[in-house]
Structure 1
Amino acid sequence: MSSLSSTPDARSTSVLRRMPSDEVLGLGSRAKQGLSQIYGRGDLIVFGLGVMIGAGIFNIAGRQAATIAGPGVILSFMIAGIASLLVALCYAELASAMPVSGSAYTFTYVVFGEMWAWIVGCALIVELELAAASVARAWSLYAAQTLADLGVQVPALGGKAVGPDLFTLAILTVLTFVVAFNARVGLRVLWVMVGAKLAAIAAVIVVGARHVDAANLASIPADPLPLARDADVLHSTLFGLTFGQAHAFGWLGILAAAPAIVFAYVGFDLVATTAEETRDAPRVVPQGMIRSLAITTVIYIAVAAVMVGMVRYTKISLETPLGNAFRAVGEHFMVHVINIGAVLGLTTVILVLLVSQTRVVFAMARDGLLPRSLGRLTGRHQTPATASLISGAAAILLAELAPVLTMEQLVVMGTLFAFLFVAAGVIALRRRMPELPASFRTPLFPLVPVLAILATLWLMVNLQVITWIYFAVCMAGAVLLYLLYGRRASLLAPPPPGRGRHRR
């Protein structure tokens, strides 16, 4: 194993010391121990579809149409897709230049320095752990509802929103072991489930299209209505506190719905965590990321058009809107299709979240910022089994003991925080390391990265103030942990007097 290259940023005591780019590229070219390369272009598209299309595809369009945007929700999906694409183009360039595990954490380490990388890495870990736990809880609720609708008795400890839940425990345990011990089996499972999920969505679109009334799509209210502000300031959005009262319907409503819809697209960034396991990653990862996002956007728009076309927006039910819409037109069987599609959709989301979480933990451990044992590859398939098992166990504990269904905005905040560093990272990388090769370049530079930063900030101010407070507390704890542990344990830390240099 070769030692770290000697650069002005390496081996210093500064908290902003940067990982040398040649060290990152050395890992990506497998000069050192790395993950097995199992993904191709099609696999990455499926990976992206697996995490971006969950149960929300059957609910979000109806709820946003009924409360904020009306039939204009279709335009809201287009706006949200464009905002997501801006960030995805930035991710694509950095993933092309640094095709290794770690995604935004690794990018930040090279461009901005170690402490910022630690904070971004911790934000990703919080995001992915909470996401896996909350989606597993949602999976339990949908699984219980599906069984009940089919006339199967649900166990007393299954399908609960809070407290010990057998369904949540079961799905997290099974998928954790799949991720830990055989990545290829996990990939095959992902292909099968995404295929079945897309079949269910196709049925929704085809059957629903037969009942679309053009008059429902044309009934866009022209005049915006003020939305009621929460009396409790801690549950207000930062946008409301800063810019005044939000509005529903009309163009203001269409724009107001877009931030909530963007959250449905969150997950395209996780494709970058597979870079080290992807063949011809500098070319394939950007293609997989952008194509999966484009396909997801088209699918969401199609489902939204069916939803608001079947039922006038003033009559959409907030409880299972798409299922009730099919009941209203006499297609009762489609309720079962939607339930099964939701269960399959959430299963693939959990699987991708666990894979991505493991890769972030693995990358941080390999850099010395987490215990080295988490960065070891074991077994015939050379997987980071220890990191997978510990990450899965943490998700199980969170899901069983914490009210994770109420913490979704904290998941989103962690994602958006990483988005900011990626978008800014493209600008900084072009200036600091223009010689770094990249098969993909963000178009219209620097306009696209600047717009990505502005779009991300716009999404962040639409989160609740209490979310900002919780996130600030978590990140303050992360900084303290870095100063007490990560700074000294890092492979970039100078060796103690009398000892040799660290080796990778």
Structure 2
Amino acid sequence: MNFIKKRSENDFRNSSKSYGYFMGLFRKRNVNNLENSVEANGLKRKLNAIDIAALGLGAVIGTGIFVVTGQGAHMAGPAVVISYLIAAITSTLCALTYAELATMFPVSGSTYSYCYVAFGEIIAWIVGWNLILEYLVSAAIVASGWSSVFVGILKLYNIYLPDSITKSLLSGGIIDLPAVLLIIFITYVLYKGVSESSKINNITVIIKIAVIVIFIALGVPHINVKNYHPFAPFGLKGIMTASSVIFFAYIGFDTVSTSAEESINPKRDVPIGLMICMTVIVVLYLAISLVLTGIVPFMKIDVNNALPFSLAQIGINWGSVLVSVGAVVGMVSTLLVTLYGQIRIFMTMSRDGLIPSAFSKITSRNGIPGICTILTGIITGILSGFLPFNILMDLCNIGTLSAFVMVSIGVIILRKTMPNAERKFRCPGVPFTPILTVAFCLYLMAGLQPLTWMRFLIWTIVGLAIYFLYGIKHSTLNY
């Protein structure tokens, strides 16, 4: 009777292989795996808590505040301050979860490394792939924004550069040469080593914070309360849409966790650095949004040059020039730290065998991943030179938010699976804080355009193809 068939021994063997292959996708790294890879990598520990906080500030305070603020004001009106607050709450909640995992696993790789322990290899790859999207695209956006501000300053002195060398191929030019040259310079600085990079970053962070404080001090006496009415002209939808865009202004604080292997005392310095970073940026951003919409009616704010334009509108031209120069200097450190984070993630994924091992080779002279640094600079230069600003920003946001969701879930899982692991910093209110973090992230993701979701899906499919063609075969967990 054909409908009563028995399974042969080969059937069971083949089924077992398929099951083993499927379970292999979720194989996990443990703490010993991570510690062994740290000991073998050769990175030098030179960063303290202040250096780490400065790395976060260098990454966060840049194109987001100098460019995105104007866009958010046009979407939400004076209620953009609420949009900033929503994005700030989301970022602060994420920082709390990051701090716990960073003190449990003080290694480079950020969310990617944490997910390898919590969820397994396939999820870690997807998260790592999305982090690549975040960092590469974010770096290209910063370089493009820097180029726009730099060209604008030259125009103030009647120096006009041709569009062919100042606009990307898809924006009516040939190449955004200033952006490419900036990336070449930053790549060179990073190649010199982390200590030298940190010194330059610390200097530029001081400059741009000083410029922002000057903007606030100059603007406060000129606030006109009438400009706050109507406060929310586009209602809740406008606030939500602005929050989804403004979140870009907070992207970068997670770079702090990628510096864990190069910090002197990561279990102390990383959480302290994170908290200092988040406190400073939240205070500055809320103050800037209030002052900006108070001194200029929101519909008159220049989307591409919000802060300098607003000072010029109230007759403080010298302040406008000063803020423009500060923006140019400030975005240099943002680019430096963003590329720094991308290089460390490439290095960590390479060390795990998911991408070629050449990416994790450390130079004996400078103690940095040399090949990875150069390749990251080349890819970012191509993106910034030939792709326009507006195509990149939403992709950066969705990639980052998806990674934050996984980190938050990871904290809950690891509290159950590794309850006795040492945690120098414990995220308060688990599981409620991580659940709230996921809710805020999903809220912001819901405000993004359908086309952004489609592009994100395509990016994820490409990443999965690379994993199944290369990563799963070369993973160090195979050995």
Instruction: Give TM-score scaled by structure 1 length.
Output: 0.86
**Distance change >3 Å, CA 129–CA 118, structure 1 → 2:** same
- Given the alignment of the two structures, is residue 128 of structure 1 paired with residue 138 of structure 2, yes or no? no
- Given the alignment of the two structures, is residue 77 of structure 1 paired with residue 84 of structure 2, yes or no? yes
Instruction: Return 287-296 or 394-403, whichever deviates more.
Output: 394-403
- Given the alignment of the two structures, is residue 209 of structure 1 paired with residue 220 of structure 2, yes or no? yes
- Given the alignment of the two structures, is residue 469 of structure 1 paired with residue 448 of structure 2, yes or no? no
Percent of aligned positions that are identical? 34
Please give the residue correspondences for 1:156-305 in structure 2 after superposition, counting only pairs within 5 Å: 157-162=164-169, 163-217=174-228, 219-221=229-231, 248-249=234-235, 253-305=238-290
Offset of 1:153 from its aligned partner?
A: 4.3
Match of 1:37 among 23, 30, 45: 45
Match of 2:95 among 88, 91, 95: 88
Structure-2 separation of matches of 1:470 and 1:184: 37
Structure-2 separation of matches of 1:312 and 1:392: 40
* AA partner of residue 265 (structure 1): Y
Instruction: Return 397-406 or 472-481, whichever deviates more.
Output: 397-406
**Distance change >3 Å, CA 141–CA 315, structure 1 → 2:** closer
Offset of 1:267 from its aligned partner?
A: 1.1
* AA partner of residue 46 (structure 1): A
What's the counterpart of residue 471 of structure 2?
486
* AA partner of residue 353 (structure 1): T
Offset of 1:80 from its aligned partner?
A: 2.0
Contact preservation (8 Å) 2:168, 2:384: no
Instruction: Return 482-491 or 260-269, whichever deviates more.
Output: 260-269
Contact preservation (8 Å) 2:62, 2:142: no
Match of 2:426 among 433, 441, 462: 441
**Distance change >3 Å, CA 388–CA 175, structure 1 → 2:** same
**Distance change >3 Å, CA 257–CA 395, structure 1 → 2:** closer
What's the counterpart of residue 47 of structure 1?
55
Offset of 1:108 from its aligned partner?
A: 0.7
Offset of 1:312 from its aligned partner?
A: 3.4
Contact preservation (8 Å) 1:141, 1:161: no
Structure-2 separation of matches of 1:13 and 1:64: 45
Instruction: Return 100-109 or 124-133, whichever deviates more.
Output: 124-133
Match of 1:396 among 371, 378, 381: 381
Offset of 1:404 from its aligned partner?
A: 5.1
Offset of 1:448 from its aligned partner?
A: 0.3
Contact preservation (8 Å) 1:143, 1:159: no
- Given the alignment of the two structures, is residue 109 of structure 1 paired with residue 116 of structure 2, yes or no? yes
**Distance change >3 Å, CA 372–CA 321, structure 1 → 2:** closer
Structure-1 separation of matches of 2:147 and 2:65: 17
Q: Which runs of 5+ in 2 are unaligned?
A: 1-19
Question: CA deviation digits over 1:225-262, x for unaligned, max 9?
Answer: xxxxxxxxxxxxxxxxxxxxxxx14x564455333222
Question: CA deviation digits over 1:453-484, x for unaligned, max 9?
Answer: 11111111111111111111111121121111
Contact preservation (8 Å) 2:240, 2:447: no
Partner of 1:210, secondary structure, is helix
Contact preservation (8 Å) 2:60, 2:250: yes
Question: CA deviation digits over 1:49-73, x for unaligned, max 9?
Answer: 11111133234444433442x3232
Structure with more of its chain in helix, by fraction: 2
Structure-2 separation of matches of 1:93 and 1:63: 34
Structure-2 separation of matches of 1:257 and 1:204: 22
What's the counterpart of residue 58 of structure 1?
66
- Given the alignment of the two structures, is residue 419 of structure 1 paired with residue 383 of structure 2, yes or no? no
Match of 2:24 among 14, 24, 30: 14
Offset of 1:151 from its aligned partner?
A: 3.2
Structure-2 separation of matches of 1:62 and 1:404: 15
* AA partner of residue 100 (structure 2): E
Offset of 1:387 from its aligned partner?
A: 0.7
* AA partner of residue 350 (structure 1): L
Question: CA deviation digits over 1:316-372, x for unaligned, max 9?
Answer: 444533333222211112221222122122211111111001100110111111111
**Distance change >3 Å, CA 263–CA 153, structure 1 → 2:** closer
Partner of 1:439, secondary structure, is coil
* AA partner of residue 190 (structure 1): N
Instruction: Give TM-score scaled by structure 2 length.
Output: 0.90
Offset of 1:158 from its aligned partner?
A: 3.9
Structure-2 separation of matches of 1:465 and 1:409: 11
What's the counterpart of residue 23 of structure 1?
33
Offset of 1:165 from its aligned partner?
A: 2.7
* AA partner of residue 442 (structure 1): C
Partner of 1:492, secondary structure, is helix
* AA partner of residue 48 (structure 1): G
Structure-1 separation of matches of 2:21 and 2:276: 40
Instruction: Return 150-159 or 355-364, whichever deviates more.
Output: 150-159
Question: CA deviation digits over 1:361-394, x for unaligned, max 9?
Answer: 1101111111111111113221111111111111
Partner of 2:222, secondary structure, is coil
Structure-2 separation of matches of 1:358 and 1:391: 7
Offset of 1:142 from its aligned partner?
A: 1.3
* AA partner of residue 111 (structure 2): A
Partner of 2:368, secondary structure, is coil
Question: CA deviation digits over 1:134-162, x for unaligned, max 9?
Answer: 22122112111111213334366543243
